[in-house]
């Protein structure tokens, strides 16, 4: 399965500092064509020196093609008995390959897919292994149009690429409450010298995170996200990279399927379900706010997400019930111990094996996710048609260390303290607090 990927990965990991001239494909007869950076800024703080990338090909500023891929292998452990419930000690978390590039200066494209991906409920292959397949028309920086399959613009943590995330895993809110990818069209751009960024679009569904072998997910999703960096132009000391964000989505959810279609909650590593879906019908609304700051080797991020599902005619007498409500928040921080400036990804001053040690980064995050109903008469129950839903949640505290050997290879160690509030849903043998441990080998092109 990996025979086609490993040669590319090894070539990238051990390539010389400057790519040889033969790696650049030049269509026109020029003595030495100088490469120009692609016009598109990819994801979160991905300013990279493409002139040193041995897996990219470029002709002036009219055409550029780059191979993009990642491989992630985990060594993991959790509470006693977790392996008997399906947790494997070694896990191939990601095996992805793709290309991205620019054609005719202003037409940007991206295609990426998983080589192997399975549904955690059934163990079968997911319906689609395609992750990104989209085109972006970037004729105007203030009004770009993107179409295809890509991430719905909602959630700071969800929109950060996993290989550029500070932690082994995203927050549970990003994995279970934020939409994720879907097919749609989006208008986006930056205004006022990059002080304000907007993204708004329409999507066929409400993201892959709301779908599974049992969940159909919502349909006809409208999304809007705004981010602002108020101090970017005034250059206030230490506040240049302070950014605030807010987002909303609205989707339709239906009770046509006989199974409950509400969102669910699962533990981070073992994926034990601590909140099961409830019956919903009507509109699904998401609201999210976030803040991100970095200065020198330090960074802080925080985010809050609230989702509500209407439950029209979902009572036993066909009456309306109080809306199902799902909420999450987290606050996290990082510090680069070796002194490099905080970026995503971090670039070591001196690569490991080339006269240096690489870069070391300490990380910590506290998060809480919980599910209940917005009111409802009577005693709260676990029943999926209960008037008042019994609250169930999960609290996690993560500490870790990232060792960035070079621009391609990173080792991440996370220790995660987890506590499920509902004793009947707590998967640990003593129904109390349990610890997860995971060591991730990450190779990203």
Tokens of 240: 């240049």
Q: What is the mean pLDDT of residues 14-40?
A: 36
Instruction: Dump the DSSP string for 12-42.
Output: HHT--SS--GGGS---S--SSPPP---SPPP
User: What pLDDT was estimated at residue 116?
Assistant: 66
Average pLDDT value for the chain: 86
Q: Which residue has the higher pLDDT, 60 or 200?
A: 200
pLDDT in tens, 344-392: 999 999 999 888 999 999 999 999 999 999 988 889 999 999 999 999 9
Could you give the domains of the chain?
5-444 (2.40.160.10)
pLDDT in tens, 120-147: 444 444 556 888 999 999 999 999 999 9
Q: 198-211 as b/e, with b when 16 or more CB fall inside 10 Å?
A: bbebebebbbbbbb
| Greatest Cα-to-Cα distance within the chain, rounded to the nearest angstrom | 80
For 5, 112, 176, 329, 409, the CA distances from 443, given in Å and listed in that order, are 11, 16, 25, 29, 5
pLDDT in tens, 192-221: 988 999 999 999 999 999 998 889 999 999
pTM of the model: 0.86
Instruction: Dump the DSSP string for 257-273.
Output: SSS--S--EE-SSS--E
Burial of 120 (C-beta count, 10 Å sphere; 0-12/13-18/19+): exposed
Strands 298-311 and 196-205: unpaired
What is the rounded distance in angstroms from the CA atom of residue 200 to the CA atom of residue 170?
23
- Sign (positive/negative) of CA torsion 226, 227, 233, 239? positive
Q: How many CB atoms lie within 10 A of CB 161?
A: 16
């Amino acid at each position: 399965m990996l025979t086609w990927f490993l040669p590319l990965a090894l070539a990238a990991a051990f390539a010389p500092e400057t790519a040889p001239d033969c790696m650049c494909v030049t269509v026109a007869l020029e003595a030495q064509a100088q490469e120009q950076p692609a016009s598109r800024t990819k994801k979160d703080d991905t300013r990279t020196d493409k002139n040193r990338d041995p897996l990219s090909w470029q002709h002036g500023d009219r055409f550029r093609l780059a191979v993009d891929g990642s491989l992630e292998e985990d060594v993991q452990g959790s509470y006693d008995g977790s392996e008997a419930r399906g947790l494997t000690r070694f896990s191939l978390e990601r095996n992805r390959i793709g290309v991205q590039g620019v054609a005719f200066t202003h037409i940007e494209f991206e295609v990426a897919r998983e080589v192997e991906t399975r549904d955690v409920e059934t163990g079968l292959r997911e319906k689609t292994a395609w992750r990104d397949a989209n085109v972006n028309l970037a004729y105007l920086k203030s009004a770009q149009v993107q179409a295809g399959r890509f991430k719905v613009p909602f959630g700071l943590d969800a929109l950060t690429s996993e290989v550029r995330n500070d932690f082994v895993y995203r927050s549970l809110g990003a994995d279970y409450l934020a939409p994720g990818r879907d097919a749609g069209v989006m208008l986006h751009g930056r205004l006022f010298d990059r002080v304000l960024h907007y993204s708004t679009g329409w999507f066929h569904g409400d993201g892959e995170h709301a779908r599974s072998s049992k969940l159909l997910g919502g349909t006809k999703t409208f999304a809007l996200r705004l981010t602002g960096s108020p101090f970017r132009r005034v250059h206030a000391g230490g506040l240049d990279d302070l950014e605030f964000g807010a987002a909303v989505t609205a989707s339709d959810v239906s009770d046509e399927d006989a199974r409950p279609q509400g969102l669910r909650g699962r533990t981070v590593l073992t994926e034990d379900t601590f909140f099961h879906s409830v019956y919903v019908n009507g509109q699904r609304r998401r609201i999210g706010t976030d803040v991100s700051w970095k200065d020198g080797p330090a960074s802080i991020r925080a985010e809050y997400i609230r989702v509500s599902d209407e439950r029209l005619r979902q009572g036993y007498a066909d009456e309306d019930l109080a809306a199902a409500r799902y909420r999450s928040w987290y606050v996290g921080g990082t510090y680069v111990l070796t002194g490099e400036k905080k970026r995503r990804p971090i670039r070591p001053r001196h690569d490991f094996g080339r006269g240096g040690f690489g870069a070391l980064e300490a990380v910590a995050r506290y998060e809480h996710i919980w599910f209940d109903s917005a009111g409802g008469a009577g005693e709260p129950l676990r029943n999926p048609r209960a008037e008042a839903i019994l609250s169930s949640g999960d609290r996690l505290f993560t500490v870790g260390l990232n060792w960035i050997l070079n621009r391609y290879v990173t080792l991440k160690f996370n220790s995660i303290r987890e506590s499920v509030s509902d004793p009947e849903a707590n998967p640990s043998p003593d129904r109390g607090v349990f610890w997860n441990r995971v060591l991730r080998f990450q190779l990203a092109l």
